[in-house]
Amino acid sequence: MVWNQIKTILLLGVLTAIMLTVGRLLGGTTGLTVALVIAIVMNAITYFWSDKIVLFMYGAKEAKKTDFPELHKIVEEVAHAAHIPKPKIYIAPIQTPNAFATGRNPSHAAIACTQGILQLLTKEELKGVIGHEIGHVTNRDILVTTVAATIAAVISYVANMAQFAALFGGMRNDRENSGGSIFGMLALAILAPIAALIIQLAISRSREYGADEASARVVKNPEALARALEKLESGIHQHPMQQSASIAATSSLFIANPFNATALLSLFSTHPPIAERARRLRAMKI
């Protein structure tokens, strides 16, 4: 857990360094400041209202305790063990087996399960999944990923400005810019967003490992989560979600990649390989 936190801090530091470098080469701090303000406003909106947006996107409805008593009992037990308020519970009418957590902090958290996951997993396996999602809540992963998204958005915005300037008239040196060739500037402007994306995805993968570990320690049954992940991988392969821009943008929220993972390069995946996650869980000593 500690290593995952250190790794996240280091990756955020690298993202920040890339942002400052691209901003400086663009010709000063003005463009960087404007981009930062825009990105912060956009991501603040996402941070405070992402739960409502995502739940609406997947057609999730709040689960009544009378209709889902066992699910409510599981969430209550895990939340109590994690020392957080019981999150709201939602059911998404989707056959792809999966689950996700949303909400900016433990007091404003929600957990959504698809119909598919409720049909696929045993009680103990589902408890491991709920532990993973509550791990995201207790680790403040929504905040971390929002910060990463903000910095990545600034890099992309400033890099686009640099590409435009390099292609249409070049860059002017000033007191805050040490200069450099237009071709070098253009190369950096193209490569920086790619590097930012890779780092952002690495942060996402690191948070998944952290949530797995949190589940194992709270639920005290890493084997159940390992089995659940393996079942989810198989179930998703049989019933993958249909890809779209909106689904792809929120795929990192789910406990397992909702698409067929074989179609994606691991470097550009929002989730670590299921086999590696299961191996780490089984190697834990609780």
| CA-angle at 102, arms to 116 and 62, nearest 5° | 55
pTM equals: 0.77
> Catalytic: 133?
yes
Residue 62, Ramachandran bin (φ over 0: left; ψ between -120 and 50: alpha; else beta): beta
The pLDDT score that the predictor gives to residue 253 is 84
pLDDT digits (tens, 9 = 90+) for 54-95: 899 899 999 999 999 999 999 999 999 999 999 999 999 999
Alpha carbon 171 to chain centroid distance? Answer: 36
Rounded CA gap, 228 and 218, in Å? 16
Q: For 103-202, where are the E strands, in sequence order? A: 110-114
Domain ranges of the chain: 2-283
Q: Which of 70, 124, 133, 208 is catalytic?
A: 133
Distances (CA, A) of 32 to 147, 156, 165, 168: 16, 11, 14, 19
Instruction: Convert the pLDDT of each residue in 175-220 to its tens digit.
Output: 444 444 566 666 666 777 777 777 777 788 888 999 999 999 999 9
